[in-house]
């Protein structure tokens, strides 16, 4: 493994890893799923590796996924040892883990080629593989697998992915990662080049042009909010404390959308974050879901 790639996972994002609300018997498999996804994401995005090195590493990671052995995990034993135990104990669908790797491979290729998504369906297809599998894997652990619940889970997972895109818009674009789509930009008389030139605060956009960007972002935020509300009834299907954790995940995503709106949609220069004092409002809203 090239030294340009990250060697360990040392950061955590908005993934519910072994939280106090998580059932104790599910903490280990949830952590195993998280570390699989986080390590693959690091291979695709962290460090100074070339695209070809990243793709090679992800290929080796995929091989390790499909070469699981209870006696001798193949590569990344700290990831695949616990993951194998979770797959064996809970019969986790390996195809969902494979879908996650497909999304990471796509990210590497698109970033290297400076690919621009043609339309919203292309972006949503990426979310289907980059986000939805995690929600489905968690539902599998909770024993909730009917079609209605899976669709609601997909709506929440896709909403969270879209929220992450708009929360990190400026950071992603500065690193060559683009999840805007050409059709929606064109609908608002914009092009990717218009947005990229505004990344520097020293080159503010003309007022009328930036208003078109705000209108574009409002459309994206509205879609994410609609998806989140479509999936929100799932909180009543997930049992016990996990259902309360899901309530807070939903409210956390909605709170980020509130913050994006409060910034007048300017996440090119500002990244909204959840603060300690947001917790009370999220909890209050969660109680009334």
Q: Are residues 109 and 121 in the same domain?
A: no
Tell me: do 82 and 198 sit in the same domain.
Answer: no
Are 120 and 91 in a shared domain? Answer: no
Residue 1 is assigned to a structural domain of this protein: no
Q: Is residue 9 in a domain?
A: no
Round to whole Å and give the CA distance between 266 and 245.
Answer: 29
Q: What is the pLDDT of residue 173?
A: 94
Evaluate if residue 42 carries a pLDDT over 80: yes
Domain that holds residue 44: 18-114
Q: Verify that 254 and 176 share a domain, yes or no.
A: yes
Domain boundary among 98, 114, 130: 114
Quick one: 96 and 156 in the same domain? no
Residue 41 lies in a domain: yes
Which tens digits make up the pLDDT trace of 167-210?
999 999 998 899 999 999 999 999 998 899 888 766 666 777 88
State the first-to-last Cα distance of the chain, in angstroms, to the nearest integer. Answer: 47
Mean pLDDT of 268-278: 91
149 found inside a domain: yes
Residue 5 within a domain: no
- Based on the fold, state whether residues 259 and 130 are members of the same structural domain: yes
pLDDT band at 279 (very low <50, low <70, confident <90, very high): confident
Region 243-252: mean pLDDT is 91
Do 75 and 124 lie in a common domain? Answer: no
Task: Decide: helix, strand or coil at residue 89.
Answer: helix
Domain C-terminal end among 49, 82, 114: 114
Domain membership of residue 145 (yes or no) is yes
**The total number of structural domains that make up the chain:** 2
208, part of any domain: yes
pLDDT of residue 251: 95
When comparing pLDDT for 242 and 68, which is higher? 242
- Same structural domain, 199 and 129: yes
Asked if 125 and 234 sit in the same domain, the reply is yes
The reply to whether 186 and 259 lie within a common domain is yes
Let me know if residue 10 belongs to a domain.
no
Instruction: Compute the average pLDDT of residues 205-218.
Output: 88
The pLDDT, as a whole number, for residue 69 is: 53
What digits encode the pLDDT tens for the residues 79-90? Answer: 999 999 999 999
Using a 10 angstrom Cβ sphere, with 0-12 exposed, 13-18 middle and 19 or more buried, the burial of residue 241 is middle
Distance in angstroms (rounded) separating the CA atoms of residues 169 and 93 = 32
**Two tokens at 91?**
């019969």
For residue 162, give the nearest of 115, 130, 184 by alpha carbon.
130
Quote the pLDDT of residue 2.
37
* Confidence at residue 245, expressed as pLDDT on a 0 to 100 scale: 87
**SS3 of residue 262 by DSSP:** helix
Share of the chain above pLDDT 90, in %: 69
CATH number, domain with residue 160: 1.10.600.10
Residue ending a domain, among 88, 114, 140, is 114
Q: 89 CB contacts (<8 Å, ≥6 apart)? A: 29
What does the chain come to in residues?
A: 289
Same structural domain, 257 and 145: yes
pTM over 0.75: yes
The residue with greater pLDDT, 40 or 23, is 40
Residues 27, 100, single domain; the answer is yes
């Amino acid at each position: 493994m090239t030294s340009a790639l990250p060697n360990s996972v040392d950061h955590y994002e908005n993934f519910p890893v072994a939280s106090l609300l998580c059932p104790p018997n599910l903490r280990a498999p949830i952590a195993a799923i998280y570390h699989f996804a986080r390590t693959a994401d690091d291979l695709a995005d962290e460090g100074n590796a070339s695209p070809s090195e990243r793709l090679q590493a992800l290929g080796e990671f995929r091989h390790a996924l499909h070469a699981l052995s209870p006696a001798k995990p193949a590569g990344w034993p700290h990831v695949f040892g616990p993951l194998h135990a979770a797959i064996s104990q809970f019969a986790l669908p390996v195809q969902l883990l494979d879908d996650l790797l497909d999304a990471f491979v796509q990210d590497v290729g698109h970033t290297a080629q400076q690919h621009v998504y043609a339309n919203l369906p292309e972006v949503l297809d990426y979310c289907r593989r980059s986000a939805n599998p995690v929600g489905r894997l968690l539902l599998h652990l909770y024993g909730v697998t009917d079609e209605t619940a899976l669709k609601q889970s997909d709506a929440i997972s896709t909403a969270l992915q879209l929220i992450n895109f708009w929360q990190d818009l400026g950071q992603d674009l500065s690193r060559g990662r683009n999840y805007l789509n050409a059709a929606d930009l064109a609908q608002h008389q914009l092009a990717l080049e218009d947005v990229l030139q505004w990344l520097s605060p020293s080159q503010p956009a003309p007022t009328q042009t930036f208003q078109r960007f705000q209108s574009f972002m409002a459309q994206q935020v509205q879609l994410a909010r609609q998806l989140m509300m479509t999936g929100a009834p799932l909180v009543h299907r997930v049992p016990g404390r996990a259902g309360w954790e899901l309530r807070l995940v939903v409210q956390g995503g909605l709170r980020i959308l509130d913050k994006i709106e409060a910034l007048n949609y300017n996440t090119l220069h500002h990244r909204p974050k959840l603060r300690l004092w947001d917790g009370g409002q999220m909890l209050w809203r969660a109680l009334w879901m």
